[in-house]
Chains A and B, each alone.
Chain A
C-alpha cells in the first residue's frame, strides 16, 4: 500500500498534465460541434472529395457530426493513441528500468518490500493512470458537448472510454515486461513506440489497399473501433478481452521475470 501511494504520488504530474491535455482538447473540439453540425452537408461534401478508404484510415467512416465519428476523429484515432503510448511507456518503464537507471530502485527494494509487491504496486498505479486518462478523454468531449447541445449519450461514451482504457493497458503491460527484461527505458520505449507506430501504419495500409486487408486483425487499430461503440451501441467484449489479455500477459510476465531478474545498474 505504501509503495502504491508512492507510485501514485509520482504519477501526479503526469496525470495532471496529460489529463488537462485530454480534457482541454476534447472540450475545445466539443465546443465546435454545433458549428460542424450546422455545416454537416458542407463538410460532408468536402470529405467526399477524398477516397473513402483514405478517410477510413483516419477514423472517418461516416458523417463527422455522428457522435462516434466525431469522437474517433478527434480523440480515438490520434490523440488517445499518442497519450496512451506516452503514458504507457512512462509508467510501464518507471518502476524497474527508469528507477534502476536513476539509482532509486535499490531504496525500496532494500526494505522489507518484496520485488513482487513493489512491481504490483506500480502495475496497480498504471491501471489507475490509464483509467483516469481514459475518463478524461471521454468526459472532456462528452461534458462540453452536452453543454453546447450535442446529443452525446453517456453510456456509449463510457463504453468507448473503457475501450480506450483497455487499449492503454495493452501498451503499459508489454512496456512493463520489456522494462524488466531489458532494464533499459530507451530500448523499451523504442520497441513499444515502434510496434505501436508500425501497427498504425499497417492499419492505414490495410484500409487503403484492399489486397492487404487480411492483415488488419494484426493491428491494434482493427480492435479499437470507438465509432462502432458509440454510434452502433456495440459493446466490444472481444476487443476488450484481447486488450486485457495482452495487458495481463505483459504484467504477469513482468512479475514473474522480476522475481528472478539480476538488477545490475
Chain B
C-alpha cells in the first residue's frame, strides 16, 4: 500500500462558470486523520465528491491509494467507508434492512452493523421515515464504521447527533485512529477536528488557505480567558508577550492568550481565583482570521463563546 492514501494536485472543479474548488493541493498519509474545515459553499463537499469519483475534475487530479479517483472509482470504493453530509436513507425500509443492504453491497456479512447499533442505541426495527434526524445520522455513522476499510471519508459526521452520541462518535474515531486506518473528515466543528485529526486544511472560496497540524492551528489563534478574582489584580499582573488584557474591571479580568498558555497559568495561579472560564476558538473564529483580512493586513479576530456565537471582537494589528 502506498503511504500516500490521498493525493490532490492542482485539483480544480468548475460547474459551468461557477467555481467549486480551484488548485487544491494536499496529501493524506496512511494512518493519518485529516480534517477539512470550511463554511458552507467553501468546497468541502465538492472535494469529497471528487475524492469518491462522483465528480470529474475540470483539471488537476486526485488519487486515492495511487488510483485515479474518477477512472478507478469502483476499485477505490472497495477500500473506503463513507458517510455523506446529508445521507438520504430509504424511508420505506427499516434501519436493519437498510444497513443489511449496505453491508451486502460492501461484501460484509448480514448483521455486521449490530454491535455498532447497540453501541449507538439505534432501534433497528423502526422504519427509517419514522426516525429523527439524529437517529438517521446514526445509521450513516454505523454504515461508515461497520466495515474495516483502510480509509474513512466522513462529511459532517456528527451533524444532528446529540452530545452523548457525539462523544460516542469521537470514541469510535479514536478507535479507528488506533487501528491505523486513515480518516478524512470534513467538519464545521473545531472540537471534533481537534480531538480526531492530526492535521487540518482550511478551505476558503474553493481554495486551501492553510494546512497545518491542529496544535499549530489552535496555537496561532486567540483564546479568551475570563477571571473573577478575590481582589483586583495589579495592572501588570498579566503582562506577558502572548497575552492581551481586553478588559479589567475591578475583580473581573478578560484576557486574550495565543500560543503557549503555561506562562499565563503561572500568573493566574499566583492570584486568588474565584472563577475562571476559558473559551477555545470555535471554527467561526478560525474562519474569521482567514476571511476578514483587509487590504492593510489588519485582521479582525472574533472570540467565540464556545457555542458558535462570537462573544467579542478586537482588532489584531499585523505583527
Interface positions of A (Cβ within 8 A of B): 2-3, 5-6, 9-10, 13, 99, 101-104, 106-115, 260, 262-265
Contacts and interface: CB of A to CB of B under 8 A. Distances in A.
B39 interface: no
A103 B52 contact: no
Contacts of A6: 101, 105
B74 A264 contact: no
B92 interface: yes
Nearest to A13: B92
Q: Would you list the 7 A-B pairs with minimal beta carbon distance, nearest first?
A: A103-B88, A102-B88, A110-B82, A111-B105, A112-B78, A114-B74, A263-B54
A107 B87 contact: yes
A104 B98 CA distance: 11
19 contacts: A2-B101, A3-B105, A6-B101, A104-B88, A104-B89, A106-B54, A106-B84, A107-B102, A109-B52, A109-B54, A111-B78, A111-B105, A112-B107, A113-B74, A262-B54, A262-B56, A264-B15, A264-B55, A265-B45
| Contact-residue size bin, chain B (C-beta under 8 Å from the other chain) | 20 to 34
B97 interface: yes
A112 B55 contact: no
B248 interface: no
B253 to A, nearest CB: 48
B88 A110 contact: no
Contacts of B104: 2
A158 to B, nearest CB: 32
B90 A264 contact: no
Contact of A112 (B15, B49, B106): B106
B142 interface: no
A107 B153 CA distance: 12
Contacts of A104: 87-90
Given A9-B97, A107-B84, A112 B90 contact: no
Interface string B67-98: 00000011101101010101111101100010
Contacts of B75: 112
A110 B52 contact: yes
A13 B82 CA distance: 29
Contacts of B208: none
